[in-house]
Structure 1
Amino acid sequence: MLRPILLVFLVACASPVDWVFHNGVVHTLVEGQEPASAIAIREGKIAFVGNDASALALAGNGTRVINLAGRALLPGFHDAHMHLMGFGESLRTLDLVDTGSLEEVVQETAKWAEKVPEGDWIVGSGWDQNDWDSSRMPTHHVLSEAIRTNPVLLWRVDGHAVLVNQSAMDAVGLHAGTSDPPGGRLLREPDGALSGVLLDRATHLITSVIPAPNEEELGFRLEAAVSMLHRLGVTAIGDAGVDSAGVEFYRAAAAEGRLPLRVSIMLDAQDELALASWLPGGPRPDLDGHGVISLRAVKAFADGALGSRGAALQEDYADDPGNQGLILTSPEVLQALASRCKKSGFQLCTHAIGDRGCQSVLDAYAATFAPGGDLRFRLEHAQVLTQRQIEQMASLGIVASMQAQHATSDMPWVEARVGKNRAEGAYAWRWLMNAGVPIAGGTDAPVEFPDPLASFWSAVTRTDAEGNPPGGWFPQHRMTRSEALQHLIRTPAWASFQEARMGTLEVGKLADVVVLSDNPLTAPESVLRDLKVEMTIFNGVLVHPKQAAF
């Protein structure tokens, strides 16, 4: 009993704290610990967690005292898997999310083209043929007819397929005789002509010639992305697939104070320069000493995406007989990469969506290390799994990095893709948790909007925003509210080796916190979807809103 009193006495003697939050419900996320009612923050760290009276005793001149009036306070949300600069690009380029038809996609693109100089590339993202009356992949003809003087590249929502117009194909010399590259596919019409849709590695045939954005535009994208994340209560992310130039961009931004976000970098496995530069020196938990960049992971790809039928399945797609998807990286290359990462102390995080893709990764991991270590190698997405694969994940200590919103976005068409039996093992959170496999939650933004409260809703209900289907889609896989909160905050911190600094509210940990309008663990479901982020603190500094609203 003396230790908390002594701690408060010692802290109080040091200097007044910068912030006191009291009269709230403070979810520390420390296992077995009941909610507190107050915290104090000093110099970017948590200085006290406990009761109101003890916290208020630490206040002095200059302390900002916030009466939470029953609101919930918790550690900042941690998106385990997203693409920060891709999200920033989506905020500054043509947005095609929620377009209801190919015709609407073309209309929106034509409007955008009106403000683009002739000959310049037009880039957009977000279309999804599964949201249209016909779920068949589009062809380029209507787009090519509408826009003739600009090459156009439009990313499908999953980032694994593009639709391009004839001008874009002409710009890079694509034609009916062009062969599919390894790990990619050019979709074709019945007569063999190119349809204008390119899958997975085939997209590189186009993207490799698009002019890169300049430093000023990159800065705008970073600022837009980070600002939006702060509004959403996100204070830490895992950035999946950063190349050499991206690492240097982040280092410069951190040195200049333009990166108020914890970023765990996963190096792009396809960038040999990045691997050769960083793996030999081992993990950098605090790259350059600014407290915001961790570099100790590598991102690889095993297969494509389910929505574009590129995820590698053990049996044919139910709605595309003869197609079992694409393997993007051979098992031999994956195993060599896993060994290389293990030797350097780096974590390997491999995109695998279909059950065949997941098995390829698990085989590579199993050949590289025995159960019982603490490598925390990851399966990114892990969308279609068998019970045997889940048991293998548990045995090897593999982390499942998953996105709850993917389940509720994909549920209208998943059974058509894989059939009902395989669909039961899709987004199988309960099977994974029952087996002891940790699930680190994220959004894969810009594939999904990086709203952790939307992810929380998806995880606990397995319904869309309107509550459909009633009772949830394969409701046996729903998470409890406590599990959902853990998988969006504490588990991502652990899954990126950051648990000593973040993920829970404990004295000495980083003061990255979020205030919500209501208690996510007890609010009625009727208001749960309307939870709001009312305040975000990063490193002890208010970053959303610009002035405290209460």
Structure 2
Amino acid sequence: MPATIAIINADILPMIGEGKFQALAIEGNAISALGSNAEIQALCDDTTQVIDADGNTVMPGFVESHMHLFLGAYSSKVLHLPGVEGTESVTKAICEFAAANPDESLLVAQGLGYEAFDGKRDADRHILDQICPDRPLLIQSSDFHNGWANTIALTEAGVLHGRDVGSGSQIELDDDGVATGVLTEPPAVSTVQSLGAHGGREVLGLEGVEPAGTVTRDQREADKSLLRAGLNHCAEHGITTIINMDGNVYQADLLREIEAEGDLNCRLELPYHFTPGEPDENLEIAEQMRRDLNSDMLWCNRVKFFMDGVMDMGTGFRVQDYPDQPGHKSEPLHAPERFAEVATELDKRGFQIAVHAIGDGAVRTVLDGYEAAHKANGPQGNRHRVEHIELHDPADRPRFAELDVVASFMPPHPPGCGDFPVEPLASIIGKDQWPDAYAWRTLKDAGVRVCFSSDWPIAALPPLTGIDIAMTRETWAADQKDERLTFQETLEAYTIEGAYACHREDKIGSLEPGLLADIVILDRILTEGTAAKASVTTTICNGAVTYQK
């Protein structure tokens, strides 16, 4: 059978083996051969689509190991404030955005630093009322965990006098029982997000809950349209596999419909999100999602947890006290004994577990749960994961490799990388613990499998941007260890290691005959020094061109 697609004149990075190749052939949805231009052209006929790479890099499609598709797509519609500092600058940006969007039911600004209002730690509703008194306004923090709302937004959302939003989250109230405007953690933020065009549905998977009430057909179609826009944005940046860390049945249903309609142009895994306090019988929802989502393009074999919040707001769970808050360590969102029980059951059922754990106390709690599962069930090969690992205790370091746990990092997250300033987070971590923060190299050298991602929309989506950030990361002090990986290891963390982390290295993540044809073509030869300027010219997923510049 002739090749359906052939790529010639390429600098191929297969991510595996030592071979040097100029060209490759695709038959159907799989790679059929790699070789010289002449060898691959011999496999072509008049029906073959021939793509000339013009001497540039051809590599496996990027595996986005941790992102939030629905929220990321929604973020393209809002005001972005990373790097905006000072009350005057914030005010100007919001007023211009409001004037340009007169019909928005909720004005949303994202990515604001915690001390952007002239050093004030939290913006109360009165500050926001001065900026925007007559339209609902929600500002989300740079880590997306927290937010600030004005009075009219709190009033229209029905939370001006507070509401129970569950453990680990709160609508902050003043001494008179009136909301200050500070919203801590996603469940509190979502009360105001419900005023937006998509009714807050774009964040429900992140919280692990389903839409309340009936979603109309028009609303469903609008949500699907937004998801399609997000998928197209991913394809534009060379992403062929998405681990979408949102997890609810509503989003699973939308994605199944998109796949049936032929519009799923990236592979996607959607987990079930197990929230604090859920009963064991809810694991059957995860089982149903696994039965419903079971193709090479869309699947579920993962359960997601949040073990803590973020260190910026003191909700990250730590082993030692916060340097600026003596006596405060925060606490885990799941009781350790309860998490160990659920992890053991999920491990026995063959689910992969992924847990958001920022502080070293949260990381330890997760590893304790994985160890309990390992002792009860023996080695199952499930490759459980810890997400973020902004801080870990050296005593826990060997346990990652011992328990076959994948370390899932986001290169744009360390203070000083991407849009995140060094302060105040570096000081919140504390200099004594800098050696244990964002320790990519340290864990890699300890034999831990490492994958990279963006956490979009918390940070910029393009993997090429992430690669550049990973290679240009700077230390916070001259005596601090350089935690960067090598350039080759960084590329692997976005490709073959990402495939390993989602149990798909036998299908994707490298360029080999017989593997699925997930491929990206760049506009230049990719090197450590060219990643910042490189762009994607063609993306191929499952043997089909999903983006062409």
For normalisation by structure 2, the TM-score amounts to 0.87
The yes-or-no answer on 1:69 pairing with 2:24 is: no
Equivalent of 2:397 in 380, 387, 390: 390
- Secondary structure at the counterpart of residue 477 of structure 1: coil
Q: Does 1:306 align with 2:311?
A: yes
CA distance in 2, matches of 1:245, 1:274: 19
Picking from 450, 458, 469, the partner of 2:461 is: 450
Distance 2:118 2:24 in 1: 52
1:19 and 2:5 are equivalent in the alignment:
yes
Corresponding position of 1:492 = 498
- SS of the counterpart of 1:515? strand
Shift of 1:541: 2.3
Query: Pick from 374, 382, 385: which aligns with 2:381?
Result: 374
Instruction: State the Cα deviation string for residues 367-419 of structure 1 (Å, max 9, x = none).
Output: 22237431111101111012221211111111111101112244612321111
2:157 aligned with 1:147, yes or no? no
**What's the counterpart of residue 181 of structure 2?**
196
Choose the corresponding residue for 1:481, options 479, 487, 493: 487
The 8 Å contact of residues 304 and 325 in structure 1, kept in 2 or not, is answered as no
Q: Distance in 1 between matches of 2:93 and 2:280?
A: 38
Report the counterpart of residue 136 of structure 1 in structure 2: 121
Aligned-partner SS, 2:471? helix
Contact between 1:119 and 1:150, CA under 8 Å: does it hold in 2? no
Write out per-residue CA displacement over residues 245-303 of structure 1, whole angstroms, 9 at most, x where no aligned residue.
Answer: 0111111111111211100112121387994454346955x9354x3102100110000
Name the structure 2 match of 1:434: 445
Structure 2: where are the runs of 5+ without partners?
A: 202-218
Say yes or no: does 1:533 pair with 2:540. Answer: no
**Within 5 Å, which residues of 2 pair with 1:398-417?**
398-407=405-414, 408-409=417-418, 410=420, 412-413=422-423, 414-417=425-428
Encode CA deviations 1:67-111: one digit per residue, 9 max, x unaligned: 323211000001100001110010123333333234433443334
Q: Aligned partners of 2:241 and 2:286: how far apart in 1?
A: 23
For residues 400 and 119 of structure 1, do their structure 2 counterparts lie closer, same or farther at Cα, with a shift above 3 Å needed? closer
> Closer, same or farther in 2 for the Cα pair 1:273/1:241, shift >3 Å?
farther
User: 307, 319, 322: which one pairs with 1:317?
Assistant: 322
Equivalent AA in structure 1 for residue 156 of structure 2: A
In structure 1, the gaps of 5 or more residues are 1-14
Structure 1, 167-176 or 427-436: larger mean CA deviation:
167-176
CA distance in 2, matches of 1:118, 1:84: 24
CA distance in 1, matches of 2:90, 2:313: 17
Give CA-to-partner distance per residue, 1:158-212, whole Å, 9 cap, x none. Answer: 1210111112222345457867842124446699864311111551672585435
Aligned pair count?
Answer: 521
Q: Compared with structure 1, are the counterparts of its residues 316 and 45 closer, same or farther at alpha carbon in structure 2 (3 Å cutoff)?
A: same
Q: Distance in 2 between matches of 1:405 and 1:274?
A: 37
- Residue of structure 1 in register with 2:234 after alignment: 229
Percentage of identical aligned residues = 27
8 Å Cα contact 2:348/2:380 also seen in 1: no
Decide which of 340, 351, 358 is 1:353's aligned counterpart: 358
Q: Distance in 1 between matches of 2:341 and 2:158?
A: 34
Deviation at 1:233, TM superposition (A): 0.9
Amino acid at match of 1:419: G
| 8 Å CA contact 1:282, 1:345 repeated in 2 | no
402-411 or 376-385: bigger deviation: 402-411
| 1:12 corresponds to | none
What TM-score do the two structures reach when normalised by structure 1?
A: 0.87
Determine if contact 1:106/1:142 at 8 Å carries over to the other structure.
Answer: no
SS of residue matched to 1:404: coil
Shift of 1:448: 0.6
Corresponding position of 2:64: 79
Equivalent residue, structure 2, for 1:513: 519
Conservation of the 8 A alpha-carbon contact between 1:404 and 1:455: yes
Change (3 A) 1:251 1:179: closer
1:22 and 1:212 map into 2 onto residues whose CA distance is: 46
Q: 1:48 matched to which residue of 2?
A: 33
- Select the residue among 133, 145, 156 that pairs with 1:160: 145
1:425 — aligned with what?
A: 436
Residue 510 (structure 1) shift: 1.4
Where does 1:256-295 land on structure 2 (aligned, <5 Å)? 256-270=261-275, 275-280=282-287, 283=290, 287=293, 289=295, 291-295=296-300
User: 1:306 and 1:224 mapped to 2: Cα distance?
Assistant: 32
The one-letter code of the counterpart of 2:135 is N
Larger mean Cα displacement after TM superposition, 370-379 or 359-368: 370-379
Provide the C-alpha distance between the structure 1 equivalents of 2:105 and 2:441, rounded to a whole number of angstroms: 48
Does 2:507 correspond to 1:501? yes
Alignment check: 8 A CA contact 2:146 2:189 kept? no
Q: Is the 8 A contact 2:162 2:171 kept in 1?
A: no
Paired with 2:406 and 2:101, the residues of 1 have a C-alpha distance of: 44
